[in-house]
Amino acid sequence: MKKVAVILSGCGAYDGAEIQEAVLTLLALDRAKAEVTCAAPEIAQKHVINHITGEEMVDEDRSVITEASRITRGNIQSLDTIQSGDFDAIIFVGGFGVAKNLSSYAFDGPDYDIDPEVLDLIHHAHAEGKALGFMCISPVLAARALGEKGVQLTIGNDRETAAALEAKGAKHVDCPVDEAVTDKENRVVTTPAYMLAQSITDAEAGINKLVASVLEMA
């Protein structure tokens, strides 16, 4: 049985983990009989967004791990308690929480950096030869952590985002929503998911391929 860590960045497309991406990932892993551990950092969300209006709820303060636990029915670990050596693979779910909570991409654009715990986890996993999956906007994490390795990845076909990732040393590959890009040398799999998806079915096709490729590589 493959052991997989799934990393979340909150709960909600506009300020945390993209819920449909998270559920599709967990479903695909469960169908594959993988043993899953979900984790999130114990940090404050940068924003809390009203998902009906799209407006910031300025008087709200929420915890990334507490919000992420809504998706996992409370079964979640703090990111600082997990070790890459305990897993065969690690998958990062997308959503604006990646760009706001796990990195500064939403605020700093091409000059962004990523959370030190996330950076360390990716570095250690890569050094140990673990399989890594990144969907939606989360390839920004791979570009920052593994750009110097020339990691090959995709966020779909958005030129501005692709240029920001390439500025970190990554090699961007345009990819349709129902496909995934596999960098066998760096053991990284990426798929556009809701960077391109117009429906949950659109997102599912690429996520299923990402999960299958990650598990095959693990």
Strand ranges inside the chain, DSSP E: 3-7, 35-40, 77-78, 89-92, 131-135, 152-153, 171-172, 181-183, 188-191
Q: Under DSSP, is residue 91 helix (H, G, I), strand (E, B) or coil?
A: strand
**Contact in structure between 169 and 156 (CB atoms under 8 Å):** no
Is 136 a residue of the active site?
yes
Distance from C-alpha of 2 to C-alpha of 218, rounded to nearest angstrom: 7
Q: φ and ψ at 171, to 5 degrees?
A: -110, 115
Helices (H), 81-199: 96-100, 105-108, 116-127, 139-146, 159-166
Q: Write down the catalytic residue from 11, 38, 136, 175.
A: 136
Q: What is the DSSP letter of 195?
A: G
**Contact in structure between 192 and 136 (CB atoms under 8 Å):** yes
Structure tokens at 12: 């909600």
Residues classed as catalytic: 136
